[in-house]
Amino acid sequence: MRIVEKIRALQECADAERAAGGRIALVPTLGGLHAGHVSLIEEARRRADRVWVSIFLNPTQFDDPDDLERYPRSFEADLTTCRAAGVDLVFAPDADEVYRVDHETAVEVAELSRPLCGAARPGHFRAVCTVVAKLLLAAKPHVAVFGEKDFQQLAVIRRMVRDLNFDVEIVGVPTVREADGLALSSRNARLDPEARQQAAVLARALDAAEAAVAAGERDAARLVRLLEAEIGRAPRAEIDYAELRDPETLGAVPARLEGPVLAVLAVFMRPASGAGPGVRLLDNRVLRPPPDV
């Protein structure tokens, strides 16, 4: 497995691979790799001859410096995971390589970035789009693979790629979960045992909403109240947002459901002391009303 730290060196690798007729798949990550990332690598392997993983903890997408400082860092463990998964190349630049001191250019998807995490974290998706665009230009992949747990991020990246005519296929991979339903996330490592146990409430809330829709519930407001009530059963869970959105546009849904809707959650698991912002977890599910109801 090759480790590359410089953009120009990565571009040269891409040029050589493409000239030889090879197909490249890129899996962009912040590091802190887990089984969810391995599922992305496995999907990348199914779609390409060469699998490349980028490991770059992008500082510009963290609105809270403390959150950046607390983000799990495990570079050697990440390399071990990549080797075991059969990754061909790891791109591991430092911040100075990705962002010049006098850099001025940014990429932004205006409307899709406004709601949900965009409303809670202004500028977040501008930073995400900018770094993903940089990674795509550096690695020149034929396909790039992302997880569906960050549903809005995936939608924003797809729109950016479409609007700017990037010659790359964007693939989403279903969320990998723990036995109790909790979506795998690098942030889970920051949960204390009690918070970890209570964090499964996100999946239970989505289960409850899915069951209600299957039983005939079509009232959007009642479904949101159901999500909020279920999350309220966990004493240390604090809702950032619990919403229903159009799964294609992320726009508002009608008062009565007329088709599939995205149930999307962001929840802080407060620390045991009650002080500090806690660990922010995301989850989502597309709710599909049965056609015969």
Nearest of 216, 56, 49, 23 to residue 128 by alpha carbon: 56
Residues contacting residue 139 through CB under 8 Å, at least 6 positions apart: 10, 14, 24, 26, 52, 54, 91
Confidence at residue 157, expressed as pLDDT on a 0 to 100 scale:
98
Same domain, 225 and 105: no
Q: Please report whether residue 93 resides in a domain.
A: yes
CATH number at residue 139: 3.40.50.620
- Is residue 142 part of the annotated active site? The answer reads no
Confidence at residue 293, expressed as pLDDT on a 0 to 100 scale:
47
Same domain, 31 and 152: yes
Confidence at residue 292, expressed as pLDDT on a 0 to 100 scale:
63
Cα distances (angstroms) measured from residue 200 to each of 37, 90, 238, 270:
20, 32, 13, 14
Residue 186 is given by DSSP the state G
Domain that holds residue 40: 2-173
Q: Please report whether residue 180 resides in a domain.
A: no
Q: Please report whether residue 120 resides in a domain.
A: yes
Q: What's the helix, strand, coil split of the chain in %, to 5?
A: 40, 20, 40
Query: Annotated catalytic residue: which of 37, 103, 124, 142?
Result: 37
Confidence at residue 68, expressed as pLDDT on a 0 to 100 scale:
84
Same domain, 163 and 205: no
Q: Where are the alpha helices (DSSP H) in the chain?
A: 7-19, 35-47, 65-70, 75-84, 95-98, 117-120, 124-139, 151-163, 193-198, 201-214, 220-231
Question: Which of 154-191 are b and which e, b meaning 16 or more Cβ less than 10 Å from the residue's Cβ?
Answer: bbbbbbbbeeeebebebbbbebbbeeebbbbbbbbebb
Burial degree of 3 (CB within 10 A; 0-12, 13-18, 19+) = exposed
The per-type count for the chain, helices as H runs and strands as E runs, is 11, 9
Q: Please report whether residue 255 resides in a domain.
A: yes
Rounded-to-integer distance, Cα 33 and Cα 82, Å: 9
Confidence at residue 111, expressed as pLDDT on a 0 to 100 scale:
94
Residues in the chain where the model's pLDDT stays below 50:
293
Query: Which amino acid, residue 5?
Result: E
Same domain, 43 and 67: yes
CATH number at residue 263: 3.30.1300.10
| Tokens read off for 140 | 């020149």
Which of 173, 199, 231 terminates a domain? The answer is: 173
Confidence at residue 285, expressed as pLDDT on a 0 to 100 scale:
97
Confidence at residue 175, expressed as pLDDT on a 0 to 100 scale:
97
Q: How many structural domains comprise the chain?
A: 2
Q: Please report whether residue 210 resides in a domain.
A: yes
Please answer whether residues 243 and 287 qualify as being in contact, where contact means their C-beta atoms are separated by less than 8 angstroms.
Answer: no
Same domain, 213 and 239: yes
Rounded-to-integer distance, Cα 279 and Cα 70, Å: 10
